[in-house]
Structure 1
Amino acid sequence: MTIRTLLASASQDPGREARLNLACDIARAFDAEIIGAGSASVEQVLDDAFAVGAMTGEVATLYQDMAESEVRDNRANFERTAAARGVQARWTGGVGYPAAIVNAAARAADLVLVAARSPGVPFRAPDPVEVISGAGRPVLVVPTAPVRTPVGSPAVLAWKDSRECRLAAAAALPLLRRASRTHVLTVSREEDVEAASAGLAEVQAWLSRHDVKASSEVLIRNDIPAARRLLDRATTLEAGLIVAGAYGHLRLTEWVLGGVTRSFLADSPLCLLMAR
């Protein structure tokens, strides 16, 4: 199991340059190809009962031209970055809903890189929640300014004995093998510490069989939210990567985040690898 193809969102958002350079770092580490996916939606023209139809059409054409221009700029920026870093790269994208374009392109990738939530740019960058829930691939959520690289730094596996966490851990193995150390952490009630420790020992042994150097630690639950405890401990450990399952449930057509997933996406200054 390795990483041969990365898909990186190349849309305009505040963290684009850091994300593309990180994609190049990972590509160089794994001799992988990068697919750049850049898109922009055409913003909806609001109907005005007093507006002339031709004027509404002109505004719609202007929005279309602006979106096409932005996609061209996205592509040029991506190709410049990839050429400067000397990595194999190709382009996909166009005018359309950003998350839909990334999710469709994910069929050709082993790992997808997107930004954390970027308020104010719903038409310009894919929402990480929509990508995590729809891409069918592990997703590396990259903050605007990562405090550390996820390649070669310590890593934290935020363990919960769930399907989602097992998928994330398996998907993260290539990066965990490159980590200087992997720390398997879980938050448990005091009365459940013995059982939690036994479960972490099995995860640690599984990681060892995949050539991942790992330790484990149970954090006793207290009044501090579990996500905050894990983020604080990851910071203390100087981690560059947190691996976690993405938790949520479907409400009609909406995927509603669980509390830990929501907090990780909102608050993590570290790269966050998630799977669902």
Structure 2
Amino acid sequence: MTFTSILVHAEPDAAASPRLACAVAVAERFDALLMGVGAELLQSTAVADPFGMLAMEWQGVMRQQLEDNLKAAEQTFRLHAGSLRTDWRTLYAPPTDALCGAARAADLIVAGGAPLTGADYWRQADTAELAIRAGRPVLVAPPTHRTFHGDRILVAWKDTREARRAVADAMPFLKRAEAVVVMEVCTKDQVEAAEFHTSEVVAHLKRHGVEASAKVEVEADDRACVELNIQAQAMAADLIVAGCYGHSRMREWVMGGVSRGLIQAPERFVLLSH
């Protein structure tokens, strides 16, 4: 079980650098194809111009800017990729839609964490929407420059379909890890069930050759994300594996508390599956 193709969205600005570096590190580790996507779409604008000349001129300027952005994104991608095997795609579409489509040919998507200031649907991919829609695991890179290792991994367990999917999707990382902890955060009345859940997951992982241990922490639900990061820090884990919980409400993606915290304020790398 391995990753053979890694998909990443490239942009011309510095905000894309952490996710590109992460994608390169994962592609190198698994000797995988690195797939880069440059995607952008012109936003339709309404200009009050009875003769249409100003609107045509403005559209021309914007289209040239779009082409320049996409060329610069490809240059940035190739600079990061170096000698890796690559596949580049230029797509004239909103980035989230473009990546969800391109994911049909990929095993893993690498995306950026933390919403960018003034996020632009026409130029920037929405990490939460990718995790829900793409049908592939999404590795979220924190906005600060970190080197991805994945040697020590924390599995954020919740007895749900999404968490089970996340463990299965993360297996290539888990099988290479030096230490894995399966942790469930629960209330006092759920401890016995949580201990049973985590012990079963540990047994499952060991059957796959993954050495793992279980941990249960008693805390309120709204403290779950904090406790996960505390444990990850304590064990020097740079990767958290978690199910992604959320649903669509008229194009607004409503995320569960832990999912939202891990995406919007990632302190380390996070693998999300839905």
How many residues are aligned here?
272
User: 2:22, 2:110 within 8 Å by CA — same for their partners in 1?
Assistant: no
Q: Is the 8 A contact 2:6 2:32 kept in 1?
A: yes
Q: Which runs of 4+ in 1 moved over 6 A?
A: none
8 Å contact kept, 1:40–1:124: yes
1:157–1:106 Cα change, 3 Å: same
Deviations 1:238-260 (A, max 9, x none): 11101111101232443311121
Match of 1:57 in 2: 56
Q: Which residues in structure 2 correspond to 1:27-66 (within 5 Å)?
A: 27-45=27-45, 47-49=46-48, 53-66=52-65
- Deviation of residue 265 (structure 1)? 0.8
Instruction: Give the equivalent residue in structure 2 for 1:96.
Output: 93
Please, which runs of 5 or more residues in structure 1 have no aligned partner? Answer: none
TM-score (norm 2): 0.93
Per the alignment, in what secondary structure is the counterpart of residue 225 of structure 1?
A: helix
Distance 1:49 1:8 in 2: 38
Tell me what 2:5 maps to.
5
Report the Cα distance in structure 2 between the residues aligned to 1:40 and 1:136, rounded to whole angstroms.
22
Given that residues 6 and 110 in structure 1 are in contact (C-alpha distance below 8 angstroms), is that contact kept between their aligned partners in structure 2? yes
Question: Separation in 2 of the partners of 1:187 and 1:51?
Answer: 62
Q: 1:255 to 1:53 in 2, by over 3 A?
A: same
Which residue identity does 1:3 align to in structure 2?
F
Q: Distance in 2 between matches of 1:221 and 1:151?
A: 26
Deviation at residue 223 of structure 1 after TM alignment: 8.0
Counterparts in 2 of 1:26-175, with a 5 A limit? Answer: 26-45=26-45, 47-49=46-48, 53-83=52-82, 86-116=83-113, 117-122=115-120, 123-147=122-146, 149-152=148-151, 154-175=152-173
For 2:272 and 2:149, how far apart are their aligned partners in 1? 13
Is 1:246 aligned with 2:250? Answer: no
Are 1:19 and 2:23 counterparts?
no
Question: 1:52: how far off?
Answer: 5.2
- The structure 2 residue matched to 1:266, chosen from 257, 264, 272, is 264
The unaligned stretches of length 5 or more in structure 2 are: none
| Match status 1:206 vs 2:199 | no
Whether the 8 Å CA contact 1:146–1:271 is kept in 2: the answer is no
Matched with 1:229 is 227
For 1:211 and 1:245, the matched residues in 2 are separated by: 22
SS in 1 for 2:194: helix
Change in 2 beyond 3 A, CA 1:76/1:263: same
How has the CA–CA distance of structure 1 residues 263 and 57 changed in structure 2, closer, same or farther, with 3 Å as cutoff?
same
1:189-247 CA-to-partner distances (Å, cap 9, x unmatched) read: 11221111011000001111111111110010148621122122212221110111110
Q: Distance in 1 between matches of 2:240 and 2:103?
A: 21
The answer on whether the counterparts of 2:38 and 2:89 sit within 8 Å (CA) in structure 1 is yes
- Distance, in Å, in 1 between the alignment partners of 2:53 and 2:169 is 52
Q: Deviations over 1:16-65 (max 9, x none)?
A: 222222222211211111101112232332x2446752102211221111
8 Å CA contact 1:67–1:95 kept in 2: the answer is: no
Percentage of matched positions with identical amino acids: 34
Deviation at 1:119, TM superposition (A): 2.3
Contact 1:15–1:145 (Cα < 8 Å) also in 2: no
Offset, 1:147 = 4.4
Q: How does 1:161-200 map to 2 (within 5 A)?
A: 161-200=159-198
Letter in 2 for 1:41: L
Task: Find the residue that maps to 2:216 and give its secondary structure.
Answer: strand
**CA shift in 2, pair 1:50/1:88, >3 Å:** closer
Given residue 249 of structure 1, which amino acid in structure 2 is its aligned partner? H
TM score, norm. by length of structure 1: 0.92
Give the match's secondary structure for 1:36. Answer: strand
CA contact (8 A) 2:5 2:33 kept: yes
